[in-house]
Amino acid sequence: METLDAFALAYPLEILVADQDNTDRIAVIELLNQLGYRPDEASTDTDILQKAGKKNYDVILINVRIPNAECVFRIEGTNATERPIFIGVSAAGPYSFKATTLKARMDSCIESPLDRQELLLQLKACSVLAGRCAIKSH
């Protein structure tokens, strides 16, 4: 099994962390840094759209309570069928959180505070889906 500091090498991703709360955003970024990622950050819907317009992200970790989170519908990848994988993050209870995430058309969700193992699993899956996974099966 890979070490945490080599995780990003095995499962490379371009990540944007979007959260209006500085403390929460910094906590997520620090966790991703421990895994070897160097994510970009955004704090508003406008900021998300500007950053996504300049760079193709594989994953956008977004607080589902960010104002105008529906802006994610306007973000596309390199062609009309590609777009980042959106993982909604929220401290809301499991039922209201999943309903909010589905309503916002997020691809996945993680409850806050982030469970490290759940995040690892989701990032692995995202890397595979993005076609960037460096791990080869024999």
Tell whether 99 is covered by a domain: yes
> Between β-strands 85-90 and 59-63, what pairing exists: parallel, antiparallel or unpaired?
parallel
Question: What pLDDT score was predicted for residue 121?
Answer: 92
Q: What is the C-alpha to C-alpha distance for residues 18 and 89, in angstroms, rounded to an integer? A: 9
pLDDT tens, per residue, the chain with 138 residues: 456 668 999 999 999 999 988 988 999 999 999 999 999 999 988 898 899 889 989 999 988 777 676 666 667 654 445 778 888 887 655 555 566 665 566 778 887 778 888 899 999 999 988 887 766 554
Which two three-digit tokens encode residue 34?
């421990």
Q: Is 137 domain-assigned?
A: no
Residues near 82 by beta carbon (within 8 Å), at least 6 away in sequence? 76
CATH number of the domain within which 63 lies: 3.40.50.2300
Residue 17's DSSP bridge partners are 41, 61
The total number of structural domains that make up the chain = 1
pLDDT of residue 138: 43
What's the domain range around 75?
A: 4-129
pTM greater than 0.85: no
- The 3-state DSSP class for residue 95 equals helix
Q: How many whole angstroms separate alpha carbon 97 and alpha carbon 99?
A: 5
> Is 107 inside a domain boundary?
yes
Whether the CB-CB separation of 59 and 123 falls below 8 Å is answered with yes
Question: Is the residue at 43 inside a domain?
Answer: yes
Is 134 contained in some domain?
A: no
